[in-house]
Amino acid sequence: MQNTVFKWLPSPKIPALTTLGLVLLSACTDTSDRTAGLQCYNPAVAVLLDRGTAVTKTNLHQTQFDDFLKGYQPTSAEISLEEKALILHLEQKIKQATHFTGSASAAESYSDPIDLMEEIMANDEVNNFTLARSQMEYAIENHIGCRYSNQNVKISHDDDGDGNATSFNYLIDYNFVPVTSEGNEPFVSRTIIEFGSGAIPETLNDTTDIFYSAAASITTYSAATFTSFGYMTPQSVIASWSLSETESLTISKDYKTENRDSVEYTLSTGMDFEGIDLDVIDKPVKRLKFVIDYGASPDAGTKVEIFTSDFERALVGPNGRILRDPTASELEQLETDFPEWNPARYKDPNYDADAPIPAFAYTGTRLPHRQ
């Protein structure tokens, strides 16, 4: 897969998926580097599965948001009205993305394309996916680069019971990277991209394809623990949902180094928290992020921090002026007026910095299996 050069442009479309696109492109291995005599092939064939239901009711701790929804519940009722409003707002957006049933602290089911595909793979419901995972195991054993990529996957379901099936169209990609330029341990990456009712592109050389997907995830697994069947504990997960033309929801999960989850909701037009005074934070809020630190031991508490920002993207403009969410026409005019200007990204010190100061913080619910 060839590399792509990206130019920063303002866009309301799923900014978090930019990361997914870059990871997908950077993870591709060059098949010409494989060891002579040992070959790994791509066994991808068209997959058409009529599953009946898209609802996931078992192994809920393996779903994208179940840990987070439990862990970010406050242990004390004595939290501020602002914190309550932000918690409820994020809960509503997670429900919009995953269609969970039951309460947030004890969800009974999820129904979304990412969790559906996770369950299908873990239950070995599609032989071609099982073969793909077996190919990764073969590559790991022989220390050769290997990739499975299938852009012709359609999963149908009829949860409405009206006889009119709904289909999810996917791209599924597994990639084993035996050696990395950073010297990290070998790993397997797995990409799931669901394009809704849209046509799946023939190539992924342009991350525009990923920008306009309905949902997408990239998961990394240690080569030492990767298996060809069942659920596995990943090292990291990034998953994102497009909720509308102007809003997105993204979860990042770190199981290896920091044992934390981060959920970010963005709305390019700004969020409205009716009836709640949020003068203590930026107005309008365009980015809202909850970060859960599950703690390193059973005795450690679960720390939840809330961050807000009044812009999606910003640049350091001419003469040091900060340009928050500039339009394409504004950028073109600045480039004309200041031809020597070299734009640099501006990071919100209370959101994007390495050690940002949270707007709010409280103690969440302890989850022993994440400690």
CA–CA distance, 221 with 71 (Å, rounded to integer): 23
Q: Regarding predicted confidence, which is higher, 272 or 106?
A: 106
Interval 172-191 mean pLDDT = 86
- Return the structure tokens found at 74: 């406050």
Sorted by sequence, the CB contacts under 8 Å of residue 51 that are 6+ apart come out as: 116, 120, 125, 155, 156, 157
pLDDT attached to residue 207: 39
Q: Regarding predicted confidence, which is higher, 22 or 123?
A: 123
pLDDT attached to residue 242: 93
pLDDT attached to residue 369: 87
pTM: 0.85
Partners of 253 in the beta sheet? 237, 261
Asked if residues 84 and 32 have their Cβ atoms less than 8 Å apart, the reply is: no
Quick check: 269 pLDDT over 80? yes
pLDDT digits (tens, 9 = 90+) for 19-40: 444 444 444 444 434 334 467 8
Q: Which of left, alpha, beta for 191 (phi over 0: left; psi -120 to 50: alpha)? A: beta
Quick check: 18 pLDDT over 50? no
Mean pLDDT, the chain, rounded, equals 84
